[in-house]
Every structure is written in structure tokens, then in C-alpha cells.
A and B are shown apart, each in its own frame.
Chain A
Amino acid sequence: MSLDLAFLLRVLIFPGLTFILFLTMFCDWVERKIEARMQNRMGPTYTGPAGVLQPFADFIKLLTKEDIVPFNVRDFVFRLAPILSFSIFAFAFVFLPIDGVSVVSNSNFEGDLVLVLTLVSIANFFLFLSGWSSINPYSATGAARVLTQFLGYDIPLFILALAPAFLAKSLSISKIAASQFIPFAFVVPWVFVLFIITLQAELEKDPFDIPHAETEIVGGYETEYTGRRLAFLKLSKDVQIVLGAAIAVELFLGGPHGPVFYGPSAFWCTLWFVLKLLVVIVLTEYLTCVFARLRIDQALVINWKLILPLSLLSLVAAVGVGLWLYPLR
């Protein structure tokens, strides 16, 4: 089999792994800068123009640090969890159309939305395992919190993701993205709002950053990690945030599709995609800044008593809208 250069380029460089990494770092910088400005402080300033290189610097610094595997941890899982969670999050990007088509031309199939959401769950489970494998009580508590929180919030997230699928009459992410002449965020805004809130919980951001509440359980599941393993755990958290935002973009904001002007459509599509991604990230950062952290029991009560019924209701309402938009033939 001859080596397919174009295929390799797409997987490894653009819009594959390298692009995703750079995008993650960039989004990390945007997040930190926006959060800092909202909190009346500077944020990253010195590394690169306006501190844009700070996430790279942090990542590289962590890579150079001493790598310690503590005594008595479950060695295999402890070493494996950060790598696996990162790779699964990164792999999920293969199914997202970033420059108009998906990363690998024939990777899309009817139902890849379900696959991506499942991958997110599995990767989250590895984050849980990373804490569970260390013997530290802070890690154990943090891990238990990851699981509790994310088991609860995965259900409304799935339910809410079905609303755009219904409107687009497809379970394929690229078809959902392509079918949005008007972004679904405007067609069914209540679903979008709920989705963003659920996403906050899924991404462990305020008011749901309970699994790594540093004043209660130090680093949560990351407590015993150092060096390059910590670097990859942090990176997988960042990729998760971008992935979460990207799913929101694909499902509710029309994905990479937008007006194409002069030049290659891949450029414009990527531009629209990144811009929409930043909109979602600004939204989530805003929520992070205006809320205090809830307690785990409060978060669960909100989940089961508020978000879950609301998401079911909003799905029903979205179905109603869908029937009105596309009357059954």
C-alpha cells in the first residue's frame, strides 16, 4: 500500500493533531486572558505577544520536570490514564468537520454523534481512573466526585444533543452542521442555553469545578501526578474543553459553515469554526467568572431535579419546533 501523503498531512498536520494542539493552546490562552480581564487582573503577559505563548511555556516546563510515580499506586493504570484520556479526546476530533469536511474524508457516518459523545464519556472515565489509581485520599475523593458528577450530567448532555439531531434529521455531526442555514442556537435557544450549562458541568468549570476544588481536596485526581504525566493530564483537560466547545459549535452554531468569500473554502471554514469556538469559550468563561463553586450534593440536586427534567422538556419543545418547521409528509 503506498503511503498516502495527503491523508497523513490531514491526520497529523491540518486539521489533524498539530492543528488541534495549537488550537487547544490558543483557546487555553484566550480562556486565561478573558478570565483574567473579567477578574480585574492581567493574565498571561510576558511570553510572546500578550502572553499568547504562555500555555506552550507551561506545557514544556511540565515536560521537563521530574517524573515521579508514587509508591503504592496502581502502576499500570496510573501511567496509562493520562495518555489514554488525551488520545481519546484528540481522536474524537476526527469526526468533527473543521475545514468544511471531516479530518479523514470518509470518517463520517450516520451516527457518529453518538460515537463522539461516547468517546467523551470514555475519556472522562480515564480521568476518573487516573485519580482512582493513586492511593491519596484527595485523589480518591476527587475521582469519586468526577464519576458522580459526570454520570449525572452525561444523561442531559445526550438528551440535549438529540434536539439538533432531530431538527437536522440526522445523527451525523457533519450533516447536522451542514443543515443549519439558521444556527440551531437561534431556532431552539433554550436547548442551547441548557447545553452550555450542562457542558460547564461536563468540563468541570465553575460552578461545577467540584472534582478539583483545590481548597477542599487539593488537586483532586491530579494530586499525585507530576512532570510529563501531569502535563498530559492538563493537556487532556484543555483538549476536552475545546472538544466540548467544538461539539456545541457543530450542533448549535452551524459548525464551520458560514459565508465563503474569495479564496479557498477550507480557510474560511476554519476561520468560522475557530471564531464560533471562541464565542462558546467566552460564554463558558463568563459563567465561570460569575458563579461560586457548588457543593457536590447541590450539583447533583440541580442535575436530577432541574437540568434533567428541563432537558427532557426542552427536547419535547424542540421536537415541536421541528414538526412545525418540517411538517411530516
Chain B
Amino acid sequence: MNTDKILEALSNALGDGILQTRTLRPEKVCVQVKVGAHRDAVKVLLNQDGNAGISAITGVDLGKTIELMYHIRTCNTIITISVNLTKENAKIESIADLIPGANFHEREVSDLFGVTFEGHPNPGRLILPEDWPENVFPLRKDFVALNFQSKMENSEALKDNGRHSIDERLVNIVFGPQHPALIEPEKFTLKVDGEVVKEVKPRIGYVHRGIEKAAENRTYLQDIYLVERICGICNACHAACFCQTVEAIMGVDVPPRARYLRTIILELNRIHSHMLLLGHVGFEIGYETLFHYMWRDRERVLDITEELTGNRIVASFITIGGVRRDLKEDVISRINAELETLKGRMNFYRQLFEGDSTLKMRTKNVGILSRQDALRLCVVGPVARGSGVDMDVRRDEPYAAYNEVPFKVITYDEGDSWARLMVRLDEIVESINIIQYALEHLPSGPYRVRVPRIVPAGEAIGRVEAPRGELFYYVKSNGTASPERVKVRTPTFANILAFVKIAEGGNIADVPASFVSLDPCFSCTDR
């Protein structure tokens, strides 16, 4: 198989650099290498596949040591390179020069675990406040909750805001943390020369809630509701990803009906999220009619979600072992009727996006992310597909019922804002088709299996194609009712770097429109 070939290549390149190989469920390989050999290992994996990239870097506190896991996405699967660092000497060479997409992942681990990445291009706080005490690392197990109140809110960042920069020509325009174009707080400092953006400095962490830490103190059942609240829009995706990861550790088979029902709610999530975004783009480029039209049509999706789950936004539908509610027969026809109307509306919007001149003037050839950059920065989801990178977890590694449902993966090659929007528009139609297929072929039988509350020791990786792209979960269980470690890598976290890339050199008026075309979700990013 693919994996064997990759392992062979790894052992050829590293020799005795490989310490041991273990399996992360379901069927994922984790190769532990010596400190220092990780760069070579990552290089080998990246060379295996033209579309390879990094999904996440997970840190796990093992007591005396910290285990770093580089989850590399290659050949439609995830290969993990793991390195053990002692806590006293938590230093490792950065891989950000090999794959620039690792930049934020390394900074996050450095913030939360106190690992120093040597040779990182721009180290510094990413998640924690600037005046967070030194040598206090929240995700280490010996962390004691401290009564920390930030006195000088982001002092370093505030200094940064001086309107008169060294170069007199450049004006700093601060985009956030409070800004009408951003629904959620996150800060981007733009150095502007006239109307042209020269430099972008992102700073995230304004809504960091420590959900990964909180998940360690709760039971698995409570964690489902916790992870659902990471993001209001793609809540079902988080629940599905967490549940299927835990199910992989437990070795539970989800009944077919539940798999289909999960597919339906996941696709409803996608439609809901995409419509929200497309409307929001209308708002950003001053096309308020589009915004109001789109959001009114979005109500239909919420109605359907309500019929299916009982809730309009946060579905609380997926649970470990299946789903929490069955779908009644009489609801199916109502959902179908609503979906048909929605499909008609989508035709209308498609005409609009293809035909409206002012809309095209603001989105075509704006915020171009080339295929090469998309791969280098490891972007995911519609952003990657808008740049011609053909990736979709639903097809590459099917979960729920996606191996039985036919669907197309939409890609556009332009790489501009317009292409990213069109990907989403077409995906809505595709999602409607998936739901209709799933409703038609809904298997009978139970919709959940009861599972024990205690999860056997083990670790697993889960991936779900959330509306914004690949959502990544790593769960480690120690045989109790609470997980040892839950790692969440949300799609926006992978896509933020792309914003820096597309904003620089562009027009300031294009910043909101090109930014929103990435569909950023900051409550996801910060967790």
C-alpha cells in the first residue's frame, strides 16, 4: 500500500534515525524519530506527493518529556513524525523553512508547551497575551491555573500601533480587534502606502478560551458539547470529528442509518456556512442587497436543521456511537421541498455571481493565491480548491456515508476571490444533491449504539471536511472517562497565513473582500 512505500522511503533515508513505529487509530502510522532527524523525515514525506502539506503539530506532555507530533498530509493520508523532547531542554529545529505552512503551528506549540523552535522566521506570542508570565505553559500537565489578569492589554502589540511608523510614508491601519468588517476579534496591522498595503502583521488569540485544556478535565460525553461550541457555524463538524476520533479509539462501528444522518447534518452545516459567507461577502463589498437576500434564504437551512435536530444553530445532534435523534418519515418530504426551492435560488445566485459587473470588478483578479503558494502555505478547503488544489477529505478519506454517496469535488484554477466564492456556490448545490441522495437512500435500523463511558487507552486521529476545509482532531485516551489530550486544528488556523500573502501588495479597499473570501472563523482559530 501507499503507507508501506512511504515507510520504506523513510527508513531508507533515515536509517537508524527511526526509533519506533506505532499505529494511531484508525490505521495511521506514527514514526518516532531522533531529535534532529525530524527535518529529514518531514522532507521525505513532503517529497512523496506534490500536494503534500502539514496538517498540524501536536504537543503531548508525557511527564518528563514532551512529545511533538508532526502530522504530515501526504498521499491522501496522514503520516505522523514524532519527536520526544526533554522538558529541561525543550528545543528543536524549526521546519518552517521546509514548509512555510508550519509557521503558526510551531508558534502555537511554542506558546502552549514552551518548546523553542530554533530558526523560526518570526517567533513570538501567538495565542497568549503579550504580558503572560514567562515559563508558564498552559497545556503542560504541571500547569496550575493562575489568577492572571492582563494589565496592559497586548502591550507589545499596542506599541506597534503608533500611527507614525519609521517610514513617514507608511500609515498603519489597524484592522481589528474591533472592526466592522470582522465579526469576531482578531487583529491585523496593515502598513499602508496611500491605498496600497505594504505589510500585514496578524495577531490572533483574542478569543482563546483554552478549550483543549478544558477538554482534558471533562468526560468524553461533556466534551462533545464543549467542542461543538468551538465554532457556532460548523458545530456539527466538530462534534462529528471528535466523535469519530473517539469511536476509532473505542473500535465502535456506527450503524449505517446514523452514518447517513451524520452526512445530512454535516452537509446542512456546509450549506449554512457557505451561504452565510456569500452573504457576508456582499456586505463587505457594499452589495447589501446580496447580503440580505442570501441571509434570508439561509433561514431555510436553519429551518431544515431544526426539523432534523430540534435546534437551529448548535445542533447537538451527533454523539459517540451515532446520533441523538431519528429522522421522522414525514419530515423528509418537507426537507426535500425546501431543498428544491434552495436549489432554484442557487441558480439565481450563480447567474448573479457570473453576470454582475460590479461584483466581478471587486472579486475577479483580486487577492490571487497561486496554486504553488496554496501548497506552500498548506491552506485547506475551498481556499485550496479555489487555487486549483484538488483536495477534499470527504473523497480522500471518506467518513460518515461519503464512500456511498456520489459527489463531485469542485475546483477552480483562478485562485482569486471570485474563484473561492464560486467554489462555495457550486458546493452548496453539490451538498443539496448529497442530502437528497442521503434522504432517498436512508437505511433503516438503529440510529445509535450505546457505548461505555470509559474509553480504553489509545490514540487516534480524525479528519472531517468542515465547510472551511480540513478539520483535524487528535485524541489521546489514558483509559479513564476523560481524555488525556485533545488537539484541535481548525481550518481557519491553516488559512490565516494565506491572508498575509494575498493582502500584501493589494489595495486597501480589497482587504475586507479578499479576507472574507477565505471565510475566516476566529473562534475556531483561537479555540
Task: Tell me the nearest residue of chain A to B361, going by C-beta.
Answer: A298
Is B226 at the interface (CB under 8 A from chain A)?
no
Is B89 at the interface (CB under 8 A from chain A)?
no
Most buried by A among B296, B359, B361, B510: B361
Q: List the B side residues contacting A289 at CB < 8 Å.
A: 288-289
Q: Which of A1-9, A34-42, A55-63 contacts the other chain?
A: A34-42
Partner of B356, one of A140, A214, A292, A298: A292
Q: Please provide the 3 A-B residue pairs with the shortest distance between their CB atoms, ordered closest to farther.
A: A293-B286, A292-B287, A215-B181
Partner of B296, one of A40, A140, A292, A297: A40
Task: Tell me the nearest residue of chain A to B512, going by C-beta.
Answer: A215
Partner of B283, one of A206, A215, A295: A215
Q: Please, could you name 10 A-B residue pairs with CB atoms under 8 Å apart, sorted by A?
A: A40-B296, A206-B288, A213-B509, A215-B286, A216-B508, A289-B289, A292-B285, A292-B287, A292-B356, A296-B509
> 8 Å CB contacts to A: which residues of B326-352?
none
The answer to whether B292 and A218 touch across the interface, beta carbons within 8 angstroms, is: no
The answer to whether B292 and A215 touch across the interface, beta carbons within 8 angstroms, is: no
Bound-state CA distance A293–B507 (Å) is 14
Bound-state CA distance A293–B512 (Å) is 12
Is B282 at the interface (CB under 8 A from chain A)?
yes
Shortest B293–chain A CB gap in Å is 6
> 8 Å CB contacts to B: which residues of A116-153?
137-138, 140-141
Q: List the B side residues contacting A206 at CB < 8 Å.
A: 286-288
The answer to whether B361 and A216 touch across the interface, beta carbons within 8 angstroms, is: no
Bound-state CA distance A296–B362 (Å) is 11
Most buried by A among B283, B509, B510: B509
Q: List the A side residues contacting B286 at CB < 8 Å.
A: 206-207, 209, 213, 215, 292-293
Q: List the B side residues contacting A39 at CB < 8 Å.
A: 288-289, 292-293
Shortest B17–chain A CB gap in Å is 51
Bound-state CA distance A210–B179 (Å) is 17
Shortest A215–chain B CB gap in Å is 4
Q: List the B side residues contacting A207 at CB < 8 Å.
A: 286, 358
Assess A292 versus B509: contact at CB under 8 Å? Given A215-B181, A218-B180.
Answer: no
The answer to whether A295 and B296 touch across the interface, beta carbons within 8 angstroms, is: no
Q: List the A side residues contacting B163 at CB < 8 Å.
A: 137
Is A104 at the interface (CB under 8 A from chain B)?
no
Shortest A199–chain B CB gap in Å is 17
Q: List the A side residues contacting B287 at CB < 8 Å.
A: 206, 291-293
Give residues in A with beta carbon < 8 Å to B: 38-41, 137-138, 140-141, 206-207, 209-210, 213-216, 218, 289-298
Assess A137 versus B171: contact at CB under 8 Å? Given A215-B283, A215-B284.
Answer: yes
Is B195 at the interface (CB under 8 A from chain A)?
yes
Partner of A40, one of B292, B361, B510, B512: B292
Bound-state CA distance A114–B283 (Å) is 38
Q: List the A side residues contacting B171 at CB < 8 Å.
A: 137, 140
Give residues in B with beta carbon < 8 Å to A: 163, 171-173, 179-181, 195, 282-290, 292-293, 296, 356, 358-359, 361-362, 507-512
Bound-state CA distance A41–B359 (Å) is 21
Shortest A136–chain B CB gap in Å is 9
Q: List the B side residues contacting A213 at CB < 8 Å.
A: 286, 509
Task: Tell me the nearest residue of chain B to A208, going by C-beta.
Answer: B286
Assess A293 versus B181: contact at CB under 8 Å? Given A39-B289, A39-B292, A41-B292.
Answer: no
Bound-state CA distance A214–B289 (Å) is 16
Most buried by A among B173, B284, B285, B359: B285
Assess A291 versus B509: contact at CB under 8 Å? Given A137-B173, A207-B286, A215-B286.
Answer: no
Q: List the A side residues contacting B362 at CB < 8 Å.
A: 292-295
Partner of B180, one of A38, A41, A214, A291: A214
Bound-state CA distance A38–B292 (Å) is 10
The answer to whether A216 and B512 touch across the interface, beta carbons within 8 angstroms, is: yes
Q: List the B side residues contacting A215 at CB < 8 Å.
A: 180-181, 283-286, 512
Q: List the B side residues contacting A40 at CB < 8 Å.
A: 292-293, 296
Q: List the B side residues contacting A210 at CB < 8 Å.
A: 509
Task: Tell me the nearest residue of chain A to B359, going by C-beta.
Answer: A292
Bound-state CA distance A290–B296 (Å) is 17
The answer to whether B293 and A216 touch across the interface, beta carbons within 8 angstroms, is: no
Q: List the B side residues contacting A41 at CB < 8 Å.
A: 292, 296
Shortest B4–chain A CB gap in Å is 51
Shortest A56–chain B CB gap in Å is 24
Q: List the B side residues contacting A218 at CB < 8 Å.
A: 179-180
Task: Tell me the nearest residue of chain A to B180, going by C-beta.
Answer: A214
20 further contact pairs, Cβ within 8 A, besides A215-B286, A215-B512, A218-B180: A39-B288, A40-B296, A137-B163, A137-B171, A137-B172, A140-B171, A206-B288, A210-B509, A215-B181, A216-B511, A218-B179, A291-B287, A291-B358, A292-B286, A292-B287, A292-B358, A293-B285, A293-B358, A294-B358, A297-B195
Shortest A149–chain B CB gap in Å is 12
Shortest B416–chain A CB gap in Å is 14
Assess A295 versus B292: contact at CB under 8 Å? Given A137-B163, A137-B172, A209-B286.
Answer: no
Bound-state CA distance A210–B509 (Å) is 9
Shortest A214–chain B CB gap in Å is 5
Partner of A216, one of B290, B296, B358, B509: B509
Bound-state CA distance A38–B296 (Å) is 13
Bound-state CA distance A215–B512 (Å) is 7
Q: List the B side residues contacting A216 at CB < 8 Å.
A: 181, 508-509, 511-512
Bound-state CA distance A38–B290 (Å) is 11
The answer to whether B507 and A38 touch across the interface, beta carbons within 8 angstroms, is: no
Bound-state CA distance A304–B285 (Å) is 22
Partner of A290, one of B179, B283, B289: B289
Most buried by B among A210, A218, A292, A296: A292
The answer to whether A292 and B512 touch across the interface, beta carbons within 8 angstroms, is: no
Task: Tell me the nearest residue of chain A to B293, going by C-beta.
Answer: A40
Bound-state CA distance A215–B179 (Å) is 8
Q: List the B side residues contacting A290 at CB < 8 Å.
A: 289
Shortest A168–chain B CB gap in Å is 35
Shortest B164–chain A CB gap in Å is 11
Bound-state CA distance A290–B352 (Å) is 10
Shortest B94–chain A CB gap in Å is 35
Q: List the A side residues contacting B179 at CB < 8 Å.
A: 218
Bound-state CA distance A213–B180 (Å) is 10
Bound-state CA distance A186–B477 (Å) is 79
Bound-state CA distance A296–B509 (Å) is 8
Partner of A295, one of B284, B356, B510: B510
Assess A295 versus B507: contact at CB under 8 Å? Given A39-B289, A289-B289.
Answer: yes
